Structure 1
Amino acid sequence: MRSRMTSAPANTRRRGQTTRTRFITKKRIRVCHVITQLELGGAQDNTLTTVERLPAEHYETHLISGPGGLLDDRARRLGERYRVAPHLARPVCPWRDVAAFLELKRLFRTGRYDIVHTHSSKAGVLGRLAARAAGVPLIFHTAHGWGFHAGQPAPVRSLFVWCERVSSRVTDRIVAVSEATVRNGLAAGVGRPAQYRMIRSGIDPRPYREATDVASIRHKMGFDPARPLITMVACLKPQKSPLDFIDLAARVRSKLPGVQFALAGDGELRVPIEASIERNRLGDTVRLLGWRSDIPDLIRASDLTVLTSRWEGLPRVFLESLAAGVPVIATRVDGGPEAVTDGVNGFLFPPGDTPAMAQRVIELMENPAGRSALREGARSSWKDDFDIRHMVGQIDRLYQERVSGVFTRT
């Protein structure tokens, strides 16, 4: 049964603020999270984990996504709390996007949600506008990383920035996964400083801290236990620039032919990557592992992890590597420096500077003592706010703050 709540008195509202009729559950707050697609990635895993772990005594938490994600089966375990919006998809398609907007608006109205919380760019724009049109009292958005970046053509970037600016006007709070995400959003004119709350993406560190029999894990995965292993975990899409990883592997192999490389993930760039491996004669050096469910084992069995991204929010693999005590060699983008410090737990480089990254990998592979110091630095760099339990707790606290600040009981 739902008890009526009233918004704050008119004289306490900001000038020009739209009045919305507000409802909330008597015992539990109804929350709906929305994400474009449940592909295998940090934003998707964190969204699902939030839905699964928000306290059931306080929340009735639902999830909506577009179809076709590798995590769909996990979402189906939510039962009736999971819904698919058939037209919600990443590519821009006007008729399909209008259909997705109408689907979301209908689902929000029938669900009578107190909070809608969106994730990812497409779901973030359509979901927030649909939530406002459906009269949802509180609207949140998590920026896991902005959909606009310097590498885009100017008209495309301008369009994406404009969409985020419009959406921010109907957003109560923007959750940013890093300080850099806040800075980049404000610099682009997205939202006001008071709208932002920084809550880092989190992981469960425990699987990465288990005792490691490196030789056994490598043998089980088909790697030579006696050869060094360097790993990149990423979706094979332009954002992650995985072809740079193949270039790095070729440069390292020319100096250290005994090093082996693992690329875990899949995506649209797989065919060009396979062609690059063949062209560089790296068939006995680089293995494409596809999507894996044993990432903790893979990272614990690695000497180094690498990430060649052109833009990010806060890379999940950084946190996984720190939890496992594995040094990181990566690009210096967005929230990366908030987790990786040069010479302490890894090294960061300008995006695209694969020669420098490869040279640093070579130096570390030739310097076991230096690599050991970085491993210790990685372990000691772990912060509590990288823990998934802290992340969910902060989201819970944010919801409670906004609910108590907006609603009054009658």
Structure 2
Amino acid sequence: MLPRYHSLKRMRSKVFHVITKLELGGAQKVTLMTLERLPRERYQVGLATGPEGLLVDWANRIPDLSRVWIPSLVREVRPVKDLVAFVKLWRLFRRERPQVVHTHSSKAGILGRWAAWLAGVPVIFHTAHGFGFNDFQRPIVRKVYVWLERITTKITTKLVVVSYANADKGEQSGVFRRGDWILCRDSISVEEFIQPKPRRRQLRTWGIPDDKVIVGMVACFKPQKSPEDFVEVAARVLKKTHRAHFVMAGDGELRPSVEERIRKYGIGGHITLLGWQNENDMPEVYRNLDIVVLTSLWEGLPCVFSEAMAAELPIIATNVDGAREAIIDADNGYLHEPHDVDGMAESVLRLVEDQDLCRKMGHRGKSRVMEFDIGTSVATLEAAYRDCLGKTG
């Protein structure tokens, strides 16, 4: 039996969010935007995370936020570090006595929820921005991850999914049952991306001729995103037209592989690697693109989709998980199977050659984007917090 906390009606509820690392990614951005927007008259908010990542400065700028840095909280499976991180989280929750602990990502989700449960936290939330298991893992590895998620769900008050596809996957895998979850989209601040400002102002700075159709990918260079496939798409398009120029905004462990692939095809003059971009500069990055491509092997519901929709850009992406909840095939973009670089290249070429179609698709996407606004998501989440807190006493 978990300990009861005294009445919450005349006090602010203390809420701690836990995420592995503040690298540039959708889960991290949504977590920080949520922490910014939770009303301080109702909540004391805290964040426990690793001390590294491009979004650390953003976290440091959030007012009235208690920040706890845990160096041993890392993405990779490291038994000693994982144990140290677990103990630090448990001690943190025993000391701070939050009414709610809300975890994000697979590693922080497992460690954080068990630490919260053992510390007697009455309300435990977890957002599945995606799952630690996927179809590209060895069967035994996948089974272990599924088992860990299943047993951890038993101590979770409420699960949050970012797409109906995620909910279906969780139910079919036996991780949770219908009714255990609420839908809360991985969202963006739509207003920041739809502000009417001049387009294509950065092309000269990037060294790109302004008569090109700019095809961009915004992603971390990691296996999940399969950035080499973007280079494969570019190489196929450039065999048929030189009207296009390709841009990759991001970086990561696969950058050497990406650079080697670019050299292999001899397309260095037609593809620009921008590296990591400051989060505040992302709306401007999108204003310099004409088409967005994402080659992921699995996803929850990436913020790239809603960012591109708000920026009035068509999207060509892999048909994985929540993609079809943002992209309607042949309406505001095109969907292809993972690794279908030939098909994706054909779709890119179609839009490069038909700019009127490109604009129409972008307009259709923009008309649907408010579903993915952070204000909607925070309101949904806060209502769930209040409901669960009301049941604790």
**TM-score tier (shorter):** over 0.9
2:138 to 129, 153, 156: 153
What amino acid is the match of 2:20?
T
Deviation of 1:24 (Å): 5.4
Q: Does 1:299 align with 2:286?
A: yes
Change beyond 3 A, Cα 1:228–1:394? same
What amino acid is the match of 2:60?
R
1:216·1:225 contact (CA, 8 Å) conserved in 2? no
Partner of 2:377: 391
Q: Does 1:356 align with 2:343?
A: yes
Q: What secondary structure is seen at the aligned counterpart in 1 of 2:174?
A: coil
2:106 to 121, 129, 134: 121
What amino acid is the match of 1:150?
D
Structure 2: distance between partners of 1:403 and 1:261: 49
Structure 1: distance between partners of 2:47 and 2:140: 33
2:313·2:358 contact (CA, 8 Å) conserved in 1? no
Deviation of 1:22 (Å): 3.1
Partner of 1:77: 61
| Worse overlay, 113-122 or 384-393 | 384-393
Change beyond 3 A, Cα 1:19–1:112? closer
What amino acid is the match of 1:396?
E
Q: Mapping of 1:165-314 within 5 angstroms?
A: 165-293=150-278, 294-314=281-301
**Deviations 1:294-348, CA, capped at 9 Å, x for gaps:** 2211212211000000000001111011111100000000001001001110000
Change beyond 3 A, Cα 1:132–1:19? closer
Aligned-residue Cα RMSD (Å) equals: 1.4
Change beyond 3 A, Cα 1:214–1:77? closer
Structure 2: distance between partners of 1:187 and 1:98: 30
Structure 2: distance between partners of 1:299 and 1:225: 15
Structure 1: distance between partners of 2:387 and 2:205: 48
Q: What secondary structure is seen at the aligned counterpart in 2 of 1:236?
A: coil
Q: Mapping of 1:8-157 within 5 angstroms?
A: 18-23=1-6, 25=8, 26-78=10-62, 81-157=66-142
Partner of 1:344: 331
TM-score, with structure 2 as normaliser: 0.96
Structure 2: distance between partners of 1:274 and 1:67: 29
Q: What secondary structure is seen at the aligned counterpart in 2 of 1:202?
A: coil
Deviation of 1:222 (Å): 3.0
Structure 2: distance between partners of 1:228 and 1:72: 34
Q: What secondary structure is seen at the aligned counterpart in 1 of 2:272?
A: strand
Change beyond 3 A, Cα 1:106–1:34? same
Q: Work out the number of aligned pairs and report it.
A: 389
What amino acid is the match of 2:238?
R
Structure 2: distance between partners of 1:346 and 1:83: 41
Change beyond 3 A, Cα 1:103–1:355? same
Partner of 2:317: 330
Q: What secondary structure is seen at the aligned counterpart in 1 of 2:268?
A: coil
1:23·1:137 contact (CA, 8 Å) conserved in 2? no
2:2·2:121 contact (CA, 8 Å) conserved in 1? no
2:45·2:65 contact (CA, 8 Å) conserved in 1? no
The unaligned stretches of length 5 or more in structure 1 are 1-17
**Deviations 1:271-314, CA, capped at 9 Å, x for gaps:** 11111111111110111111112221121221100000000000
Structure 1: distance between partners of 2:17 and 2:200: 41
1:215·1:226 contact (CA, 8 Å) conserved in 2? no
Identity %: 43
**Deviations 1:202-259, CA, capped at 9 Å, x for gaps:** 1111222122423423223332211110000000000000000000000001001231
2:126·2:159 contact (CA, 8 Å) conserved in 1? yes
Deviation of 1:80 (Å): 6.5
Change beyond 3 A, Cα 1:23–1:143? farther
Structure 2: distance between partners of 1:189 and 1:22: 32
Structure 2: distance between partners of 1:66 and 1:217: 33
1:214·1:225 contact (CA, 8 Å) conserved in 2? no
| Worse overlay, 65-74 or 213-222 | 213-222
Structure 2: distance between partners of 1:234 and 1:143: 19
Structure 1 stretches (4+) deviating beyond 4 angstroms? none
2:200·2:287 contact (CA, 8 Å) conserved in 1? no
Structure 1: distance between partners of 2:348 and 2:238: 11
What amino acid is the match of 1:161?
V
Deviation of 1:53 (Å): 1.1
The unaligned stretches of length 5 or more in structure 2 are none
Deviation of 1:404 (Å): 1.2
Structure 1: distance between partners of 2:93 and 2:206: 45
Structure 1: distance between partners of 2:142 and 2:200: 47
